[in-house]
């Protein structure tokens, strides 16, 4: 069951501020409030899905492709493709997913060797 009052749902509705990197009607990129690397951006689809499993089960192929294509565009735009980046998602309890709205972390801007 999706919690409509999770933090990222509130960020989408602009009830909580965020530092936006890119936004359109389908997707939102914003800076993580506690960055784990020089660049730490979160990317979320604007549909109510709680994790990756839910996203892949609910979203159609076009929406899934749009999500990853837009990540590809944004990482290029902000210069991460030159030096590399990490794209990670925590899915559910054992991954200690904190916010129950599907999101991916984009980490980069420095060598990520010491960052889990």
Residues that bind ligand 5GP (CB under 6 A): 7, 16, 18, 30-34, 42, 90, 96-99
Known active-site residue 101: no
Of the pair 12, 75, the CB lying nearest ligand 5GP is at: 12
CB 101, min distance to ligand 5GP, A? 9
Task: Out of 31, 40, 101, 103, pick the active-site residue.
Answer: 103
Annotate 78-110 with b (16+ C-beta within 10 A) or e (fewer): bebeeeebbeeebeeeeeebebbbbbbbbbbbe
CB 79, min distance to ligand 5GP, A? 21
Exposed/middle/buried for 49, CB within 10 Å: 0-12, 13-18, 19+? buried
Of the pair 53, 62, the CB lying nearest ligand 5GP is at: 53
Edge-to-edge strand list for the sheet holding 85-88: 20-23, 27-31, 39-45, 104-108, 85-88
CB 62, min distance to ligand 5GP, A? 25
Of the pair 34, 113, the CB lying nearest ligand 5GP is at: 34
Active site residues: 103
């Amino acid at each position: 069951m999706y919690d409509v009052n999770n933090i990222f749902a509130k960020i989408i509705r602009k009830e909580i501020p965020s530092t936006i990197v890119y936004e359109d009607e389908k997707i939102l990129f914003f800076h993580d409030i506690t960055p784990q690397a020089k660049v730490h951006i979160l990317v979320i689809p604007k549909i109510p899905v709680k994790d990756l499993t839910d996203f892949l089960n609910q979203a159609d192929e076009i929406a899934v492709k749009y999500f990853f294509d837009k990540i590809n565009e944004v990482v290029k735009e902000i210069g991460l493709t030159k030096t590399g980046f990490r794209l990670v998602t925590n899915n559910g309890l054992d991954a200690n997913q904190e916010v129950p709205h599907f999101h991916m972390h984009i980490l980069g801007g420095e060598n990520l060797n010491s960052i889990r």
